[in-house]
Structure 1
Amino acid sequence: MDKKDLAIGVLLIAIVGLSGGLGFMFIAGPDMFGPPSEDPTNLFGLPDDWSTAPNSSFFMLYNQTGASIKVTLKDILDGVALAIEEAAAGGPGINEYKDIIYPYTFLDPGSGLYVTGVDLLDVLEKYDTNFGWDLTIYSDSGYALDLTTGDIITNMYEEDNPYIVAIAANKDWLAESPLGSSWGNFTFLGKEYPSVIYDMNSVEVWSNWTIEVTVNGSVEYIIDQNNMKLNQYDDIYSYDRDDWWTYNRHYWGRNISEIISQTDAGTLNYTVRFWSADGWATPWPFGGKKEPRYNNTHVETGIISPYPRWADGYLNDTADLINITQVPLPETDLLMALVYADQEFGESGQGITDPIWPYRTMCGYHRGPFYVVIPGRPRESYLKYVTRIEITSYSGPIPSGFEL
Structure 2
Amino acid sequence: MVFLITGTSLNFENTEKLSVGESKTLPKPAITYDWYNFTLPSELVPDVNINFTRDGSNVSFSMEDIINYAKYDNGTFELINYTIDKDGYHDIVGFNPIYLMELAGWYDVMNFTVNASDYSKQVNMTQLLFADGNFIKHPDTENETIIIIAWDGDWLANYDSGSYGDFYLWGENLAGNQKVRNINSIIYDDPWTVEFTLNGTTEAILNRNNATTSVTGNYTSYEWGYFDTDAGYGWDERECTGFTIASLLKHTSIGEQDYTLSFIAYDGYGENVQYTKEQIEQGFTGITINDPPVELLHQGRQAILMEISDDVPLGYARGPYQLITPGADKSNYIGGIVEIRIIIIPEENWIPGFQVQLLFIISIFAISALVMKSKKN
- TM-score class normalised by the smaller sequence: 0.7 to 0.9
How far is the alpha carbon of 1:194 from its aligned partner?
4.7
CA distance in 2, matches of 1:74, 1:398: 70
In structure 1, the partner of 2:93 is: 116
> What's the secondary structure of 1:52's corresponding residue?
coil
Query: Aligned residue pairs: how many?
Result: 305
Correspondent of 1:199 among 182, 186, 205: 182
Give the partner amino acid of 1:75.
D
1:300 has 2:281 as partner:
yes
Give the partner amino acid of 1:129.
W
CA distance in 2, matches of 1:61, 1:167: 17
CA distance in 1, matches of 2:264, 2:53: 29
How far is the alpha carbon of 1:69 from its aligned partner?
2.9
Assess if the C-alpha contact under 8 Å between 1:187 and 1:200 holds in 2.
yes
Give the partner amino acid of 2:205.
I
In structure 2, the partner of 1:166 is: 148
Show structure 2 runs of 5+ residues with no match.
Answer: 1-30, 351-377
Correspondent of 2:326 among 358, 370, 375: 375
1:260 has 2:217 as partner:
no
- 1:150–1:30 distance in 2 versus 1, CA, 3 Å: closer
Assess if the C-alpha contact under 8 Å between 1:228 and 1:253 holds in 2.
no
In structure 2, the partner of 1:245 is: 233
CA distance in 1, matches of 2:70, 2:256: 50
CA RMSD in angstroms comes to 2.6
In structure 2, the partner of 1:236 is: 223
How far is the alpha carbon of 1:386 from its aligned partner?
0.6
Compare relative contact order (CA 8 Å, sep 6+) and give the higher one, 1 or 2.
Answer: 1
> What's the secondary structure of 1:130's corresponding residue?
coil
How far is the alpha carbon of 1:390 from its aligned partner?
0.3
Correspondent of 1:70 among 53, 60, 71: 60
> What's the secondary structure of 2:64's corresponding residue?
helix
CA distance in 2, matches of 1:218, 1:67: 36
TM-score by length of 1: 0.69
Assess if the C-alpha contact under 8 Å between 2:113 and 2:188 holds in 1.
yes
In structure 2, the partner of 1:93 is: none
In structure 2, the partner of 1:337 is: 304
Assess if the C-alpha contact under 8 Å between 1:76 and 1:101 holds in 2.
no
- 1:29–1:272 distance in 2 versus 1, CA, 3 Å: same
- 1:86–1:75 distance in 2 versus 1, CA, 3 Å: closer
Assess if the C-alpha contact under 8 Å between 2:82 and 2:143 holds in 1.
no
Measured against aligned partners, the alpha-carbon deviations of 1:2-48 in whole angstroms (never above 9, x if no partner) come to xxxxxxx954xxxxxxxxxxxxxxxx423244xxxxxxxxxxxx33x
Show structure 1 runs of 5+ residues with no match.
Answer: 1-8, 12-27, 34-45, 88-99, 286-290, 307-320, 344-359, 400-404
TM-score by length of 2: 0.74
1:148 has 2:135 as partner:
no
How far is the alpha carbon of 1:101 from its aligned partner?
3.1
How far is the alpha carbon of 1:327 from its aligned partner?
4.6
In structure 1, the partner of 2:82 is: 106
- 1:114–1:229 distance in 2 versus 1, CA, 3 Å: farther
Q: Percent identity between the aligned chains?
A: 21
Give the partner amino acid of 1:72.
S
In structure 2, the partner of 1:128 is: 105
In structure 2, the partner of 1:218 is: 201
How far is the alpha carbon of 1:161 from its aligned partner?
3.5
In structure 2, the partner of 1:60 is: 51
- 1:383–1:398 distance in 2 versus 1, CA, 3 Å: farther
- 1:127–1:185 distance in 2 versus 1, CA, 3 Å: same
How far is the alpha carbon of 1:385 from its aligned partner?
0.9
Give the partner amino acid of 1:61.
F
- 1:323–1:305 distance in 2 versus 1, CA, 3 Å: same
- 1:387–1:148 distance in 2 versus 1, CA, 3 Å: same
Measured against aligned partners, the alpha-carbon deviations of 1:311-349 in whole angstroms (never above 9, x if no partner) come to xxxxxxxxxx53355554345322211111112xxxxxx
Assess if the C-alpha contact under 8 Å between 2:83 and 2:92 holds in 1.
yes
How far is the alpha carbon of 1:305 from its aligned partner?
3.1
Superposition map of 1:269-284 within 5 A: 269-281=258-270
Assess if the C-alpha contact under 8 Å between 1:269 and 1:398 holds in 2.
no
Assess if the C-alpha contact under 8 Å between 1:272 and 1:294 holds in 2.
yes
Assess if the C-alpha contact under 8 Å between 2:149 and 2:168 holds in 1.
yes
CA distance in 2, matches of 1:124, 1:220: 30
CA distance in 2, matches of 1:397, 1:52: 74
Deviating 4+ runs (over 6 angstroms): none
CA distance in 1, matches of 2:66, 2:131: 22
- 1:382–1:276 distance in 2 versus 1, CA, 3 Å: same
Assess if the C-alpha contact under 8 Å between 1:164 and 1:190 holds in 2.
yes
How far is the alpha carbon of 1:128 from its aligned partner?
0.8
